[in-house]
Amino acid sequence: MTTKSKDLSYYQRAKRQREILVSGAVTLLGIILLSIYLMPLGYGVITSLKTKAQVSDPDAPILPSENVVFTYEGERYDVLNVPTDDGIQEWALVKKGRGSSTFLDINNPEAGPIEWEGNWRSLEPVRELDVQWSNYPDAWNTIRFPRLLWNTLVYAFVTMIGTLIASSMVAYGFARFRFPFKNILFVVLISTIILPPAVTLVPTYAFFVNVLHWGGTWLPLIVPQMFGNAYNVFLLRQYFMTIPKEMEEAARIDGAGPIRTFISVILPQAAPALTAVALFHFFFAWNDFFGPLIYLAGNRDANPITVGLTEFNGLYNSDTQLILAAAIISMVLPLTIFFIAQRVFIQGIVITGVDK
Amino acid sequence: MRWQEARWGLFFISPWLIGFAIFYLVPMIASLVFSTYNFTLSAPDEARFVGLQNWQRMLFEDPKTWESLFVTFRFALISLPVGMVTAFLLAVLLNSKNLIGRNIFRTLFYAPTMVPLIAAILIWSAVLNPQTGWINRVVEFFGVQAVGVNGLRWLDDPSLIYIAYTFIGLYGIGNAILINLASLQGVPTELYEAAEIDGANWLRRLWTITIPMVTPVIFYNLILSVVGLLQYFIVPWVLNGGSGYPEGMTNFYMIYFYKQAFTFQNMGYGAALAWLMFIVALVITLFLFATGRYWVYYSGDTGNDD
């Protein structure tokens, strides 16, 4: 009896140990993969805080740092790590020489100059952590961020409202009503997803720019968003179909027409799906590049953040630290929204992901 | 009553019906008509009807058409499998019960997808910088001495550029990961339990249960990736200026289309190129649907065969 329970507990212990080991290994693998995956973002943040000199120096340390300078009697000298009989000393280089150079001990400069035999070029400079926060205001001012952000935000919000209204209407139509050719129309709607936008682009462009003279304005980008889009309609329709029909019937008995039912019964019920669509759209608008590139050509004041960043990249391509600071500023808002709303967001994708 | 219902249905879908007519149907037909003309937007009155000349030139006389299509396919052949396999394996990892803090991992793996693409491209171009980027430091750390004085030139070396682009592409796989993940969670656990009793190990369960059960989602990701890659534009445009550099490796189809239609203002020829892209996309999609019958498994359609 006792031996048996002992065996059992031994077996259970072994099993638990094995589980902990597996969990540890899997989690470790996850951490390693995640670090590799996020490494470029880390690089971006760190590099955006460096000086231009450090960014372009291949031998510079990884963290933002600056060579230490020693000021003595009004002169500025680089401080180097000098190997001496008493170990490595931090000395300021006063006079560079071929065979020997003159140094000052920064802790005791009154002791006078010290001659050091050897090539000063072989010595490592002393560095200290030095974070260039000023890169951010510099980037902000150079790139005219307020203008770019404003343009992008207006575009995102105006089209978000348009696409929410239109897509939810269309989704409701497909989810709840019977009408001729409904299935064919739905297949046509879904197949617009695989239609390359290039096919419609040339005539649409000609129409907007030559007939309506909307070139250089946001109208060609905003107006087409007002008619609903296949992804959003699909997602919302999936969601609407899960809402119990009884609620609408109750509203109908109370005398509400279809529009009234849609607004006061369906839309409030679908808040999570509508939020997901709003977020999807926001990220789409924040990222939109090709449309603004062709329609806003020639009107720099109208540029969104994406086009503004590429232009900045072209003009300041030797100032990597500023470009990276600008890139990071441009991702602050989307990432913040994502982290706040990630539950809704991921749920939204799951709704579209399942049930295909 | 039925007529009334149909009327309401059509009312609700009318935004899309109108939008479809204005922004899809009419432009598609117009695009077909445009492809039989030669004209520029600066002088639309001088449009000249040329019949099928644009199509003939595009298909038989312009080597760039096929070259750019070939470039696009060659890149897709590398980038597509890498992206899909990575997304699937990461989803398996993020679905593992043994992963401690799964939700944090899921959020963090998804986060790069939320980084604006342009920002990600700019960061990647710095990371890939031959002298100062981290990638070459890592390569050197692992003792690859062949790197040379200037390091591996990721964006200038024709043999490396697609690898670099594929890395950048991995920053957009978040949605594919999530869709895979949702589908993995839908696999019935009884199947795994039964297999475990039969003594099937982890790899065998992955191969014989998980993968067949998630083939519909793999199929969906495949179609979206193919259609997306056919329109590959922003990365080569921002990084290599749409110049084709190096050695024509970045002459992607969409870039060629953009240059013809908007840089050179050959609107008619551009319309023909766009139609060819549509035909290629359609053929590939239909082909995938045809082959899908043999490898995509829908758990709903069992039972009829036996």
Prediction ipTM score: 0.87
pLDDT in tens, A235-287: 899 889 888 888 888 888 888 889 999 999 999 988 888 988 998 899 999 99
Please provide the average confidence, as pLDDT, over all residues in chain A: 87
Quick: pLDDT tens for B175-220.
899 889 888 888 888 888 888 888 888 888 888 888 988 898 899 8
The two structure tokens encoding residue A214: 């909307």
* Residue to test with chain B: of A172, A200, A286, A313, most B Cβ within 10 A: A200
Match 């000063």 to its residue by tokens: A120
Between positions 250 and 279 of B, the ones with CB within 8 A of A are 254, 257-258, 261-262, 267, 270-271, 273-275, 277-278
| CA–CA gap between residue A265 and residue A284 (Å, rounded) | 28
Neighboring chain B residues of A60 at a CB cutoff of 8 Å: 132
pLDDT of residue B303: 42
Secondary structure class of A96 (helix, strand, coil): coil
Confidence label for A5 from pLDDT (cuts 50, 70 and 90): low
pLDDT digits (tens, 9 = 90+) for B120-130: 999 999 999 88
Contact predicate A158/A220, CB 8 Å: no
CA distance A306 to A330: 8
Cβ proximity of A348 and A270 under 8 Å: no
- For the record, the structure tokens of B231 come out as 């329109």
User: Which pLDDT score, from 0 to 100, does residue B147 have?
Assistant: 55
B202 vs B207: CA distance, rounded Å: 9
Reported as half-sphere exposure (CB side, CA atoms, 13 A), residue A41 has a value of: 21
Among A303-317, A323-337, B1-15, B133-147, which is the least confidently predicted range?
B133-147
Find the range with the poorest average confidence among A44-53, B131-140, B218-227, B238-247: B131-140
Q: How confident is the model at residue A354 (pLDDT cuts 50, 70, 90)?
A: very low
Mean pLDDT of A56-81: 82
Q: What is the β-pairing status of strands A127-129 and A65-67?
A: antiparallel
Residues forming beta bridges with residue A71, ordered by sequence position: A76
Has residue B233 got a pLDDT over 50? Answer: yes
Selected residue with higher pLDDT from A3 and B288: B288
User: Where does residue A308 rank: exposed (0-12), middle (13-18), buried (19+ CB within 10 A)?
Assistant: buried
pLDDT at res. B306: 37
What is the maximum span of chain B, computed from C-alpha positions, in angstroms?
80
pLDDT category at B145 given cuts 50, 70, 90 is: low
A225/A220 Cα distance (integer angstroms): 9
pLDDT band at A53 (very low <50, low <70, confident <90, very high): confident
Q: Where are the domains of chain A?
A: 1-47, 65-129, 136-351
Amino acid at B55: W
How close A154 comes to chain B (CA, Å)? 17
- The verdict on whether omega for the bond into residue B246 sits within 30 degrees of 0, i.e. cis, is yes
| pLDDT surpassing 80 at residue B300 | no
Q: List pLDDT tens digits, range A176-224.
A: 999 999 999 999 999 998 899 999 999 999 999 989 999 999 999 999 9
B235 reaches A (C-beta below 8 A): no
Q: What does the pLDDT read at residue A6?
A: 62
What pLDDT, in 10s, does the model give residues B58-108?
Answer: 999 999 999 999 999 999 999 999 999 999 999 999 999 899 998 899 999
pLDDT at B302: 46
A177: closest chain B residue by CA = B9
Give the minimum alpha-carbon distance from B48 to chain A in angstroms, rounded to a whole number.
16
Question: A136-351 maps to which CATH number?
Answer: 1.10.3720.10
SS3 content of chain A, % helix, strand, coil (to 5): 65, 10, 20
Q: What angle do CA B105, B109, B111 make, to 5 degrees?
A: 115
Q: What's the pLDDT at A143?
A: 86
pLDDT of residue A356: 35
Checking if the pLDDT of B301 tops 60, the result is: no
Does the structure show a pLDDT above 90 at B270?
A: yes
B15 → closest Cβ in A22, A34, A166: A166
**Which residue from B16, B28, B223 is facing A227, i.e. has the nearest CB?**
B16
pLDDT at B241: 85
